[in-house]
Chains A and B, each alone.
Chain A
Amino acid sequence: MDIDYNQTLDLTGVACPINFVKTKLKLEGMPKDEVLEVILDDGEPIMNVPKSVKEDGHKVLAIKPFGDRFKLYVKKQ
C-alpha cells in the first residue's frame, strides 16, 4: 500500500543529529496533517530519527525498506 505524502526529504548520507534537525525544520514549515516522506540511511539514522520525531509530537505513519535505505512517513501534528 502506497502512502500519500505532500513533501519529501532525501537525507541519504546525512548523519545524526543533523538528519533529525533537517526533518524537524521541514516539518515546522508544513501545515498540520500534511505528510512528509523522509529517506534515511540504515543504522543510527533509522534508529534515531523516527524516535526523535515522535518525541517532538509528530505521528509516524510508516517505515518502509527502500533498497539499503528506509522511507519514513511522518504526519505533522
Chain B
Amino acid sequence: MTDILTEEQIERYSRQIILPEIGGAGQKKLLRAKVLMIGAGGLGSPCVLYLASAGIGHLGIVDSDRVELNNLQRQIMHSTKTIGVMKAESAKERINQINPDVKVYAYNTRLTSENIMGIIKDYDFIVDGSDNFPTRYLVNDACVMANKSFSHGGIFRFDGQAFTIVPGEGPCYRCLFSEPPPPGLVPSCQEAGILGAVAGVVGVIQANEVLKFVLGIGELLVGRLLIFNAKDSTFRIVKIPKDENCPVCSKAPRITKLIDYEEFCGIRAKQK
C-alpha cells in the first residue's frame, strides 16, 4: 500500500507533497510511520487530527477515560454525539472519518509500569499528552529505558510548554524536573482551569515535532523547552542542558525500574 501512492493519496496529500522537503518519498515515510498518542484529550485532540490528516499511517491512542460534556470545550476531536464513549474509541471513529489511510489502534487502558513497555515497543515516536504527573514521569522513564523518542506537552491556565526528548541525544524530562512535585502542592487536573486554544497551540506544536521527526527535517525541540504564553501571545525558548546526575538518563541512573507514582487527583488515588 505504501510502495506506490494511489491517485487518491496523490490528491489528498498534494499540498504537502509539493514541499521540496516532503515529496513522494516523505509522504511514504509518513504513511509507514507508527506514532503513539498518550491521552486523547486537550493536547491529543489537535495533535491527532493533524497527524491523521497528514497521513501518519499507524496511530495508537491510549486513554482510559470516557468523553464527558466538560471535555468538549478543548478536546476538539470528540463531539456531543460521543459523550459516554471511550475516548480512544471516539478518537478512532473521528480519525476514520477524516482519513481511511490511517490504521488506528485504540488502547482503552491506563498506562502503568506493567503495560507501558509492551505498548510503546511497536511505535517509532510517542506523544505525551497526558494530564497528570504519574503518567508523565512513567512515559519519560519508559521511553528513556526503551530508547524511544517522544514529545512532552503541558498546559496550565494560559501557559503551555513543549519539549522533545531523543534519548542519547539530549536531555530528558527528568533532566528538567527530576522528581514530580509532592501531591497537593500543584492543583489537581480537575482544579486547574485551561483555555482550549492553549491546548490547541501546544498540541499542534507536538504534531509538528512528530512530522519533523518522521521526515527527518528541521530542528526538533531537543534540549530546548518551548514556552507559550497565551495572554501575551509570546513564545520563549529556554535551553535545557543534559543533567549529568539525571536519575534516569545519566550514565549511572538511580532509577532503573519503572515507578507508579501516586495519582494527584484524589479520585484515582492508587497505592503501589
A binds B: yes
Report which A residues bind B (CB closer than 8 A).
17-18, 20-22, 24-25, 28-29, 52, 55-57
Binary flags per residue of B18-35, CB closer than 8 Å to A gives 1, else 0: 101001110000000000
A23 to B14 alpha-carbon distance, docked (Å): 12
A20 to B18 alpha-carbon distance, docked (Å): 8
Output the nearest chain A residue to B14 by Cβ-Cβ distance: A21
Residue B201 interfacial (CB < 8 Å): no
A56 touches B24 (CB 8 A): no
Residues of B within 8 Å of A21, CB to CB, are 10, 14, 17-18
- In addition to A20-B18, A25-B23, 19 A-B residue pairs with Cβ atoms within 8 Å of each other are A18-B11, A18-B14, A21-B10, A21-B14, A21-B17, A22-B10, A24-B17, A24-B18, A24-B23, A24-B24, A25-B17, A25-B24, A28-B23, A28-B24, A28-B25, A29-B24, A52-B18, A55-B20, A57-B20
Residue B5 interfacial (CB < 8 Å): yes
B20 touches A17 (CB 8 A): no
Q: Which 8 A-B pairs have the closest CB atoms?
A: A25-B24, A21-B14, A28-B24, A21-B17, A28-B23, A56-B20, A18-B14, A21-B10
Residues of A within 8 Å of B14, CB to CB, are 17-18, 21
Residues of B within 8 Å of A52, CB to CB, are 18
Q: Give 12 CB contacts A-B under 8 Å.
A: A17-B15, A17-B18, A21-B17, A24-B17, A25-B17, A28-B23, A28-B24, A28-B25, A29-B24, A52-B18, A55-B20, A57-B20
